[in-house]
Amino acid sequence: MCGIWALFGSDECLSVQCLSAMKIAHRGPDAFRFENVNGFTNCCFGFHRLAVVDQLYGMQPIRVKKFPYLWLCYNGEIYNFKQLQKQFGFEYQTLVDGEVILHLYNRGGIEQTASMLDGVFAFILLDTTNRKVFLARDTYGVRPLFKVLTDDGFLGVCSEAKGLINLKHSTSLCPKVEPFLPGHYEVLDLKPSGKVASVELVKFHSHKDEPLHTAFDTVENLPSGFDLETVKSNIRILFENAVRKRLMAHRRIGCLLSGKGGLDSSLVAAVLLKLMKEIDINYPLQTFAIGMENSPDLLAARKVAAHIGSEHHEVIFNSEEGIQAIEDVIFSLETYDITTVRASIGMYLVSKYIRKKTDSVVIFSGEGSDELTQGYIYFHKAPSPEEAAEESERLLKELYLFDVLRADRTTAAHGLELRVPFLDHRFTSYYLSLPAELRIPKNGIEKYLLRQSFEDSNLLPKEILWRPKEAFSDGIASVKKSWFSILQDYIDQQVDDLLLEKAAEKYPFNPPKTKESYYYRQIFEKHYPGRSSWLPHYWMPRWVKATDPSARTLKHYKSATQE
């Protein structure tokens, strides 16, 4: 996890522009480098480093003797760099997994490079010989990337939008900053002036397609067919493989146990601990849960930690601490989406604790499971298995705007690196290839197939494996009064009724419908005025008449006290 930043064709003094690069310093607390490009005085790279691999040669932009004309700035982890080295005979000069990008590009060009990478990544690759700039981002946008491109060819690229919004440029008062689309790469021509022109934007991978790099995976071909035992076995094999490949780190690994419903992060933690023992990692796994006093998530996490035998940390926060964090959270997130802000507060506070009180840096989490395995409660209302499958794909496609954005920014704000095995390319493409009727909720229980697959593994206690779903922002509160209702009571005092009545006039795009959303929007506009289009729409459940995105407002929701 790092912060990357680059400019091409800047009219302004680079020493002034580089102040913008400091806005993402939290992403790489270990080192910083700012480097001009030979022969292009108005082009430069900025890099904030979190040292997770190769402490000695891990600085960027990465340049190697073999390809002196290539410059690479990347944020991510490429899990199959050793398999690709073996397959193609690459000679690496560093221990940095990202170096493989240079060798793949030299061997087969940008399309093959992006398609062959098994991992999470956002990168800027410059080829000064062929005068080309390439941008690319992984399938689910687990690693963030934003860009700004003006009409006269000034290009700015950054891990977070906050590193681009204050850039100075002669012809544009407020250039449009936008997220770079996941699963795409872009080719740009670099002119002698340092300015660029976009040539093409290409989608290199769709989440339903088996990735090209499967051919070089450590797991051989799996048995085909959709009989239940085969499917369950394949799910277990691929999920375990997804966790195993993510163990690549020279820094301490930890795991969140405060994800939605407990199931997703609990499965990750249980498999993680099993594999750490197998490969003789000689420190205990630290697990982390956050909540208010006696919250359902804390109690469930305690059971899981006791069952798997992790070194467990509980972070207890009160409503005042949660409310005080809101502004920092919205600044970090760069969004005003209601459910994202709500769920981010707990994750932001637990990340802050991990950074201050422990030495865990690489943090595993359960993001992506709800979207992939139809874990949201409203999936019970899906009119048909086919429509449920379509909705699952839509949610995965938009993850970079919601849960993946939350998970990245809340952890990166405190210099932590997130790993999300549920979004493994091969695991997700397999799960999405299964017949639609296998993937729907059954017997009133969502994620039925996933739970069933691990039922006989003894990885988790039965009551956790089959625990009903909690929304993260609700699970961290006590059952009597959910975190979101505590928030709303506070906000009620902060936003006048008259302001809400006139909300649509003040904010015509995505107008706030509640005091809570008005409050978040106000804070967002303070930091990012006029940038509301970064959020195309609010996250809301489908097939139900919902005015609030919290699971607790849906009829299907049952707390433990009602059972």
Span 445-471, pLDDT tens digits = 999 999 999 999 989 988 889 877 655
The token pair that represents 298 in the structure block: 């804390």
Chain Cα centroid distance, residue 105: 25
> Which pLDDT does position 221 carry in this prediction?
83
- Residue 551, pLDDT > 90, answer no
- What is the percentage of the chain residues whose pLDDT exceeds 70? 92
Q: Judge whether 256 is annotated as a binding position.
A: yes
Q: Which residue has the higher pLDDT, 361 or 55?
A: 361
Q: Give residue 273's pLDDT.
A: 96
Contact 67, 95 (CB under 8 A): no
Mean per-residue pLDDT of the chain: 90
HSE-CB for 524 with a 13 A CA cutoff: 24
Q: Per-residue pLDDT averaged across 230-242, rounded?
A: 97
pLDDT tens for 243-269 read 999 999 888 999 999 744 478 999 999
pLDDT tens digits for range 389-414: 999 999 999 999 999 999 999 999 99
Distance CA 266, CA 300 (A): 9
- Residue 66 token pair: 């073999």
Say whether 319 counts as a known binding-site residue. Answer: no
The CATH superfamily assigned to 3-203 is: Aminohydrolase, N-terminal nucleophile (Ntn) domain (3.60.20.10)
pLDDT in tens, 513-527: 999 999 999 999 999
3-state secondary structure of 381: helix
**Contact of 310 with 284, CB cutoff 8 Å:** yes
Instruction: Read off the pLDDT of residues 482-521 as tens digits, 9 standing for 90 and up.
Output: 777 788 899 999 999 999 999 999 999 999 999 999 999 9
Q: Indicate the SS3 state at residue 12.
A: coil
> Which residues are known to be catalytic?
2
Q: Residue 261: its pLDDT value, please?
A: 47
Is the Cβ–Cβ distance between 211 and 183 less than 8 Å?
no
Q: What is the pLDDT of residue 464?
A: 84
β-strands 184-190, 132-137 pairing: antiparallel
CA quadruple 457, 460, 461, 462: dihedral, nearest 10: -60
172 labelled as ligand-binding? no
> In this structure, how many other beta carbons lie within 10 angstroms of the beta carbon of residue 36?
12
Residue 94 has pLDDT above 60, yes or no: yes
Tell me: pLDDT of 100 over 60.
yes
Identify whether 511 is preceded by a cis peptide bond (ω within 30 of 0). Answer: no
Instruction: Kindly report the length of the chain.
Output: 563
Give pLDDT, residue 92.
Answer: 95
Is 366 among the annotated ligand-binding positions?
Answer: yes
How many angstroms separate the CA atoms of 405 and 411, rounded?
10
pLDDT digits (tens, 9 = 90+) for 153-196: 999 999 999 999 989 887 666 789 999 999 999 999 999 999 99
pLDDT, one tens digit per residue, over 369-391 is: 999 999 999 999 999 999 999 99
DSSP string over 444-471: TBTTHHHHHHTTTS-SS-HHHHTPPP--
Per-residue pLDDT of 30-51, as tens digits, reads 777 888 888 888 899 988 877 6
Q: Which pLDDT score, from 0 to 100, does residue 553 have?
A: 55
End-to-end CA distance of the chain, in Å? 42
Arithmetic mean of pLDDT, 105-125: 97
Can you state the percent helix, strand and coil of the chain, rounding each to 5? Answer: 40, 20, 40
State the pLDDT at residue 126.
97
State the average pLDDT over residues 336-358: 96
Count other Cβ atoms within 10 Å, centred on residue 525. 15
Query: So where are the chain's domains?
Result: 3-203, 250-560
Q: What does the radius of gyration of the chain's CA atoms come to, in whole angstroms? A: 23
Alpha carbons 11 and 257: distance in angstroms, whole number: 48
419: confidence class by pLDDT, cuts 50, 70, 90: very high
The annotation status of 365 as a binding-site residue, yes or no, is yes
Neighbours of 226 (CB within 10 A): 11
Write down the pLDDT at residue 555. Answer: 56
Tell me, what's the pLDDT at 71?
A: 95
Q: What is the CATH number of domain 250-560?
A: 3.40.50.620
Quickly count: other Cβ atoms within 10 Å of residue 251's Cβ.
Answer: 17
Query: Which pLDDT score is estimated for 480?
Result: 63
Helix (H, G, I), strand (E, B) or coil at 514: coil
* 411, 405 Cβ separation under 8 angstroms: no
Q: With 80 as the cut, is the pLDDT of residue 6 above it? A: yes
Give the pLDDT score at 292.
86
pLDDT number for residue 562: 37
> Residue 474's pLDDT is what?
59
How far apart (Å, rounded) are the C-alpha atoms in residues 193 and 354? 46
